[in-house]
């Protein structure tokens, strides 16, 4: 067990960092009035990975005004977060 004895400080450091992370998460969620589960699963990347697990990468994005079919430049507004809307320039070109 000498290897375990040498690894003990690193393992204790790992446990301390994880415990600190959980404590920060508990304080943060209490301050925001939300559950830790909601805070961790309602993020963009969590939603993305859930969709990939359920549907794979080939899912379709539905636009509020229907599909883009006309050749040219279009602007699509992406709603990334409660406070973040980003315009995305999309160029559709004809096949040759």
Q: Where are the domains of the chain?
A: 2-92
Distance (Å) of CA 54 to CA 29, 42, 60, 62, 93: 28, 16, 13, 17, 31
Give tens-digit pLDDT for 17-61.
999 999 998 898 899 888 888 777 777 788 888 888 887 776 566
pTM of the model: 0.43
Residues 6+ apart with CB under 8 A from 5: none
Q: Where are the alpha helices (DSSP H) in 33-87?
A: 36-41, 44-55
């Amino acid at each position: 067990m000498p290897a375990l004895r040498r690894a003990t400080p690193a393992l204790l450091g790992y446990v301390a960092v994880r415990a600190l992370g959980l404590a920060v998460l508990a304080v943060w969620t209490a301050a925001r009035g939300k559950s830790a589960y909601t805070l961790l699963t309602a993020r963009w990347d969590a939603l993305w990975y859930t969709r990939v697990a359920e549907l794979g990468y080939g899912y379709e994005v539905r636009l509020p005004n229907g599909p883009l079919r006309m050749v040219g430049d279009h602007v699509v507004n992406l709603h990334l977060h409660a406070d973040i809307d980003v315009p995305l320039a999309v160029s559709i070109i004809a096949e040759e």
